[in-house]
Chains A and B, each alone.
Chain A
C-alpha cells in the first residue's frame, strides 16, 4: 500500500472485476476460482495465503460472497477507492444482464413454450441446489448438534415457514451458549441465552403460535443433542 494509487490502477482493478462478473455464470461460488486466477496468478495483488483467508472470511460474514471478496481485495490493494471500484466492477455486469434480460422477456413471456421452459429450468435448479447443499454438508456439519441445527432449520423454514431471521438468531444464540458452557462463563451463558425467552414471548405475543411451538421443539431437540453429545464425550 506504499505505492501511489493512480487512476490507471483503479481502472485496471475495475476491469478485472468487470470481466470476472461478466463471464462467470452460476453465482458467487463459481466466481471465487476466477478471482483467484486473476488477482493472485495474473496481477499479483495478493498472495496465495492471503486469498485463502479472504475467501474463508467472505463466506462466513453476511452478504454476497463474491462481493465480499472483491471489496476486501480492493480495500487491501488500493484502500477505500479500491473497494468502491471493485464492488462496482462486480455488480454492474450482473445488473446490466438483468436489465437486458427483462427487456427481452417482456416480448416472449406469454409464449407457452417459454413458460414451460422455465418450469424445466426450475426442476433442474432444484437438483443443482440440492447438489450444492449436499456438497456443503460435510464441511459444515461435523457434530450431532450441528446436524440438528441443519435439519431443524430445513424443516422449520421449508415446511413450517418460520421466519428465517429467527432461525439465524436462535442458531447464533445456541452456539454462543454452548461456547460459554464449555468455557464455564456464567455471565456469557446468561447473556447469550437471554435472547431465547424474550424472542419466544414476542413470537407468541405477535400471535404466531405455530412458529412459536416449532421453535420450542427446535430448542428441545438441540438441547437433547447437546446432552447426548456431552454423554458420548464423557464415555469416550
Chain B
C-alpha cells in the first residue's frame, strides 16, 4: 500500500534534488545519499534501503536513459513500490522542466548575461568535486573491504585507514580504469565484464 507521508517526502526530496544539482547524474549522487539518510532517520524507512542504494549506480549503468531518472525511479521503488517510483520521477523532472521552459523563453537575454556566466564558472569546479566525491560512495564496500565511509569523520578516519582493501575490488577497479582511460572502452562492455568478473573474483577473497 502506498504510504502518503513517505510519498510526499519522496516527492519533496527529489524535487529538491532536481532543483539544486548541477552537472547531471554523477554529481547528484552524494546529495542523494545524504537525503536518503535523512529520510531513513526521519520516517523510519527500512535501513536496508541504504544497502540497496549502493547498487544504484550498477542499476543505472545497465538500464537505458538518464542516470538521475533511473536513480529516482529505483530509489522510489525500493522505498515505496510503484507509486514511490512514479512520484520520485515526477519530483526530479519538474524543476528542470520549468527552469528550461523559462530559459527557452528568455534565451537571448540569458546567453548575454555576464553575471550568470560568472556564476556558472563558480559552480562548475564544485560540480567536478561532487562527481569525484561520488566515487567515494561506490568504492565503499566494493574496493574497501568494510563499509568504510559512513559520512562521519571519526568513524571515517579510523575505518578508512585501517580497514583492509579488497583485492578483487582493486583488480577490477584498476583494469576498468585503464580500459576506460587508455583504451576508451565504452561503459557498457566494462560494466558487463566487471559484473562477470565480480561474480567469481569476490568468491575468492
Contacts and interface: CB of A to CB of B under 8 A. Distances in A.
Interface of A: 21-31, 53, 57-68, 71-72, 75-76, 80, 83, 87, 90-91, 93-95, 97-99, 101-102, 112-114, 116-134, 136-137, 139-141, 146-147, 149-154, 156-161, 163-165, 167-168, 171-172, 174-176, 178-179, 210
What is the interface of chain A mostly: helix, strand, loop, or mixed? helix
Interface of B: 16, 18-26, 30-31, 34, 54-55, 57-70, 73-74, 77-78, 82, 85-86, 89, 92-93, 95-97, 99-101, 103-105, 107, 110-111, 115, 118-136, 138-139, 141-143, 149-153, 156, 168-170, 172-174, 176-177, 180-181, 186-188, 190-191, 193-203
Contacts of B134: 129
Contacts of A57: 103, 110-111
B128 to A, nearest CB: 5
**Which of B21, B86, B138 has the most chain A CB within a 10 Å cutoff?**
B138
A51 B28 CA distance: 24
14 contacts: A25-B187, A60-B124, A62-B19, A62-B21, A68-B99, A75-B104, A117-B199, A125-B138, A125-B191, A126-B139, A131-B180, A149-B129, A153-B133, A159-B136
Interface of B is mostly: helix
B18 A25 contact: no
A146 B125 contact: yes
Contacts of A101: 59, 62-63, 74
A25 B128 contact: no
A172 B22 CA distance: 12
A133 B89 CA distance: 25
Given A28-B24, A120-B172, A176-B119, 5 more contacts: A61-B103, A116-B201, A132-B26, A157-B30, A158-B30
A171 B59 contact: no
Contacts of B74: 98, 101-102
Contacts of B156: 159, 161
Contacts of B194: 120-121, 123-125
B34 A128 contact: no
A31 B67 CA distance: 11
Contacts of A25: 61-64, 187-188
Given A87-B93, A98-B70, A125-B191, A174 B142 contact: no
A26 B93 contact: no
A182 B95 CA distance: 32
A151 B128 CA distance: 9
